[in-house]
Structure 1
């Protein structure tokens, strides 16, 4: 029996009086107890279809044709055509959140910041299944325990901002499942999560599906997740179905060129040295970027590392203090004795779960955060600069040497400035050229990143996500930096756009001799970009090695847990969810004793394994024997 059957669905939007079709004759089905994956890029129409099923279309949107038949297992003989129901009628409200549950992509914006988690789940329960308060509390705590909260009674009274990303997504799952829906719609449920937390959330969804017998419509662009979760796959492009069928056929015998291109655009661990990602559509052809000066290229071959970081430490104190000095305060060691070198012209990858301290390290290097201890030395080719000791005019003169590409291209670009203003701003601040010189420089930067100079008078909102990230890259290049810190630069992008941006960064690095610190939790992306990789957990670098050595011979249990949690877009390499990250990869109690600090013994140290491979362990421990 099909829980959901969509037949020839057409969706249109009317903007400024102009009608436009965004979904054009889509048909798909979701059988009872099965998982169907709806795969496509941003703008393909997949999220709009989920909004139509839930009766949540924006005011400008409307169903212009077709049927959305929902067959409730409690009343299988009376299918409901959701497309024909009034938008805010009693029927659709009884289905939404009751018989059809939904998990959204961004749990932080989906949960109320002023209500506790328990209150929000209780609201959903009382709306669809009125229950006495003590009984409702017991049901909610049971559900919170089932979705992985260790202390459900405490979790009931927590606010969303007190939870990590993974726990927020679990709270959303509890809210969606409290009424035992027949259909769960999961719209990019793990896009914002680390691989280890993603593995736990996907495992939880599979277990709850088996236990409750519900059907799942999984909306995603991650083919690794699809290969591990889906029974059937539907591939959508610009509002039309390109290909659909069982997961075996889709991955082993893809027929449509679009699907084949999607499979080639994803970075994977089996890529050969020098192999490039194949973008679905290449961006505007770009000439090679302006090469560095002869003097800069001569400095690049010097032996001294460009950046040397030693003994970084940063602690944050949270909590409250009363007038009399009493209260509850908690100190978190965000960065603990971190040290590494970045050589000229290389890309050092920094990987780890959210909260491990990697972004704090980048902020310290940028002088946005002041550490409690440590040193940072920058080699400008003539002298070693003490970065943390710079002040006033010296610090201002140093700023252009280190630039940053941010994670979210939307919030990192001012919506009130044109592209011309955004790219001229760093040149104006640092007195680089005047008027026509700055304009010529801005136009050259647009060419460097493959954007048309005719776009210079546009505002950021008129660009796609990938184009906005190109503007962010152009801004980072404006001052000819020696080091660029890339903080999750492609995590908010689709697979196809991600391939374009990664190829662009590699090209710019080769042409300009750039040096990157590439921060990410996506190991496949880091494998594609980095020469060496540092793995960070609980504020410390637990392993650092050349890329091939780290992926072929991971020594630290945390590194292994990260690698085991990566879903491959390959049916022959299915993810073992139970082995992925039991209890959380960064929980040191799961690590072998050699990797845990003995309270009465010596401190952990970085043991050399040869060829630039180091692992954090007890002095004298025989790591090779344990591997």
Structure 2
């Protein structure tokens, strides 16, 4: 390999990393070489467990204690500071030089924002700590700089957000706080490990544009670790593809997307859902899992035409320390038919997860009605007491968004999957173990892993364990809260196909909460769009994607990054999405101006939109036609 040139901020040469387990070295990174030129973006792409995150940990000097660099160099050259080249692989991880680099000249956005932020310090104080450590400011000025950065990464009220704690924020807002912390010192190199995984498309576009602008302004280089090929197509100058610790293919973004040569890269490109997929077309997973479908009597709903779940006028308000209140869910109503998948999309903080939590009774609703129409008499879900709620629980289960915090670190995988069965008194220990083995096969994991703990799995593998646990009690309805947001595209394809197969064979019903519109397009028959706690549009998938009526829905669709170099994201158009959920940016037809109220207007074919009471379906059609003409 040629010697390092001043234009390379980072150059990795023949890097080999092993983990010591039971006295043996297990090699996980096998001779990887790559470079990140100044002011450029290099995308590192690969599946869960391919070694991407381990490479980033080595660059930051954050390898676990049993991790060791056995060969190779990690050369860092800071063109802004002094231009000297340091071999990070030779630096002590807790030495002075490494501490100055880490967080100062090399910033990092971690994949798991919940476990990366302290729950006992405010978000603002944590970001300010990073600033004061590397670029000291007077106290008042430091707060002003921190609030400005919070505003840049999309917090609506930076001053108020400064004093909030991480557990008060949605997944997307936590990720934005991590981004602010990484960027506040204006690093020469930013390592972004899945930086937009938890973000909805409008804020994702905002964050990606911000990264591009900072890159241009301060000459920052970016090593972007992601499984989202749409983000890669819109952000990267060069792409490096790794598989099981080995480099498969590397080249310019043009070479990778237009002239892929390695079979693994070609398979990755086919595994991503997009809006051009035909009805009934399946994603092509790299390793298709033939589900071992658990035995279950398919529910019989003959003679019962009612939807499986009816939600009416749901409302939830949260109080705040300042004495005010935040209306998180406002008058939400929808039905989910039997065997149907209803998609629920919207930006972070729109109330999607809160709706799912209220249906599960994990959050208490302030008002409204939730009725479950099972095989027996209708069940008033909100009216159940603790005893009847426990008996009802098997009918509805949930797949959680964060695969780290939703799995107990003190329990083995077997214990995690058995726990719902133990609580409900289903079967003896042997039967429960057999069921756990069956479910591990169903989600594509080796049953030999049952005695391991969650920390020994990748993010994608942990999410599959969560899916297995949700299936343990043979539920009728599964609320999927971002179930594939932590998964790379190949495993995502496998899980989405699996969920579809299970839905068809077991008669399952899904409420699929996601910010990924391409995933929702693939999974859901009908889609509901949420903004600021309200459903603003609901309708059949094709109708909603082909002919969106609400301005917020249109902004969502424009902000989706596609894995297609000929349809690149227009960041200026997509940036309008940053304020798209603010009703003040909507035309008068969609706002409650002059004290008027809003109502759902039927546009036909099961398609409805939230608009001013005075509007008619004709008014909406005229507005839609005018917008299409523009």
1:105 counterpart (106, 111, 115): 111
Structure 1 residues 137 and 510 mapped into 2: Cα distance closer, same or farther (>3 Å)?
Answer: closer
TM-superposed deviation, 1:420 = 4.8
Please point out which of 587, 609, 616 is paired with 2:603: 609
Question: Which residue does 1:202 correspond to in 2?
Answer: 208
Are 2:550 and 1:556 equivalent residues in the alignment?
yes
Structure 2 match to 1:477: 471
Are the equivalent residues in 1 in contact too, given 2:296–2:474 (CA < 8 A)? no
Greater alpha carbon shift after TM alignment, 381-390 vs 213-222: 381-390
- Counterpart check, 1:192 vs 2:189: no
Question: For the Cα contact (< 8 Å) 1:351–1:533, is it kept in 2?
Answer: yes
Count of aligned pairs:
614
Query: What's 2:4 paired with?
Result: none
**2:179 touches 2:195 (CA, 8 Å); kept in 1?**
no
Equivalent residues in 2 for 1:267-346, closer than 5 Å: 267-283=273-289, 285-290=290-295, 292-293=297-298, 296-297=299-300, 299=301, 302-319=304-321, 328-346=322-340
User: How far apart, CA to CA, are the structure 1 residues paired with 2:155 and 2:407?
Assistant: 37
Q: Separation in 1 of the partners of 2:41 and 2:521? A: 30
Name the residue aligned to 1:624: 621
**228-237 or 75-84: bigger deviation:** 75-84
Consecutive unaligned residues of structure 1, counting only runs of 5 or more, are 320-327
TM-score (norm 1): 0.89
**1:366 paired to 2:360:** yes
Distance 1:36 1:342 in 2: 43
Alignment partners' CA distance in 2, 1:151 and 1:396: 40
Of the structure 1 ranges 512-521 and 414-423, higher mean CA displacement relative to structure 2 is found in 414-423
Q: Separation in 2 of the partners of 1:541 and 1:113?
A: 31
Displacement of 1:164 in angstroms is 5.8
Task: Output one character per residue of 1:485-519: Cα deviation in whole Å (capped at 9) or x when no partner.
Answer: 22221112222221111111111111111111111
Asked if the contact 1:313/1:336 (under 8 Å) is kept, the reply is yes
**For the structure 1 residues 429 and 24, does the alpha-carbon distance in structure 2 shift closer, same or farther, using more than 3 Å as the test?**
closer
Map 1:125-164 to 2 at 5 A.
125-129=131-135
* Per-residue deviation, 1:357: 1.6
Q: Secondary structure at the match of 1:25?
A: strand
Partner SS, residue 329 of structure 1: coil
Kept after mapping to 2: 8 A contact 1:561/1:581: no
Give the match's secondary structure for 1:566.
Answer: coil
- Which residue of structure 2 lines up, in the alignment, with residue 219 of structure 1? 225
User: Which moves more between the two structures, 46-55 or 99-108?
Assistant: 99-108
The offset of 1:52, in angstroms, is: 2.4
Segment drifting more, 471-480 vs 119-128: 119-128
CA distance in 2 between partners of 1:148 and 1:465 (Å): 26
Q: Calculate the aligned-residue CA RMSD, in Å.
A: 3.0
Q: How far apart are residue 33 of structure 1 and its match?
A: 1.5
Given candidates 79, 84, 89, the residue that maps to 2:90 is 84
Partner residue in 2 for 1:322: none
- How far is the alpha carbon of 1:571 from its aligned partner? 0.7
Relative to structure 1, the CA distance from residue 137 to residue 383 in structure 2 (aligned partners, 3 Å threshold; closer, same or farther) is: closer
User: Could you tell me how far 1:251 is from its partner in structure 2?
Assistant: 0.5
Offset of residue 476 of structure 1: 3.1
Q: Which moved more, 1:577-586 or 1:76-85?
A: 76-85
Counting only pairs closer than 5 Å after superposition, residues 3-22 of structure 1 correspond to structure 2 as 3-22=9-28
Cα distance in 1 for residues equivalent to 2:254 and 2:345: 32
Q: Structure 1 residue 56 and structure 2 residue 62: aligned?
A: yes
Gaps of 5+ in 2: 1-6, 625-630
Q: Using the TM superposition, give the Cα deviation of residue 548 of structure 1 relative to its aligned residue in structure 2, in angstroms.
A: 0.8
Cα 1:381–1:594 change in 2 (3 A) is: same
Alpha-carbon distance in structure 2 between the residues aligned to 1:358 and 1:77:
48
| Alpha-carbon distance in structure 1 between the residues aligned to 2:155 and 2:473 | 48
Which residue, 248, 259, 262 being the options, matches 1:253? 259
The structural deviation recorded for 1:2 is 2.1
Distance in 1 (CA, whole Å) between partners of 2:127 and 2:404 is 31
**C-alpha separation in 1, matches of 2:392 and 2:103:** 54
1:27 paired residue number: 33
Cα gap change, 1:97 to 1:44, in 2 (>3 Å): same
Confirm or deny: 8 A CA contact 1:300 1:513 kept in the other structure.
no
d(CA) in 1 for partners of 2:389 and 2:125?
A: 49
The range that moved more, 374-383 or 39-48, is 374-383
Do structure 1's residue 591 and structure 2's residue 576 form an aligned pair?
A: no
Alignment match, 2:272: 266
Say whether the 8 Å CA contact 1:418–1:459 is kept in structure 2: yes
Output the CA distance in 1 between the equivalents of 2:569 and 2:424.
Answer: 50
- CA 507–79 in structure 1, closer or farther in 2 if over 3 Å, else same: same
> Which segment is superposed worse, 182-191 or 236-245?
182-191
Distance 1:48 1:165 in 2: 23
State the distance in 2 between where 1:167 and 1:406 align: 17
Tell which deviates more after alignment, 66-75 or 592-601: 66-75
Distance verdict in 2 for CA 1:38–1:419, change over 3 Å: closer
CA distance in 2, matches of 1:434, 1:77: 66
Of 305-314 and 54-63, deviating more is 54-63
Equivalent residue, structure 2, for 1:498: 492
Deviations 1:331-363 (A, max 9, x none): 222221111111111111111122222222222
Q: Distance in 2 between matches of 1:301 and 1:259?
A: 50
Q: Quote how far apart the aligned CAs of 1:227 are.
A: 0.5
Structure 2 distance, partners of 1:35, 1:215, is: 6
| Alignment pair present for 1:45 and 2:51 | yes
Whether the aligned pair in 2 keeps the contact of 1:312 and 1:335 (CA below 8 Å) is: yes
- 248-257 vs 373-382, which deviates more? 373-382
Matches within 5 A, 1:400-419: 400-419=394-413
Aligned equivalent of 1:238, options 231, 237, 244: 244
Partner SS state of residue 558, structure 1: helix
Q: Distance in 2 between matches of 1:20 and 1:435?
A: 34
TM-score scaled by length of structure 2: 0.88
Question: How many angstroms does 1:48 deviate by?
Answer: 2.2
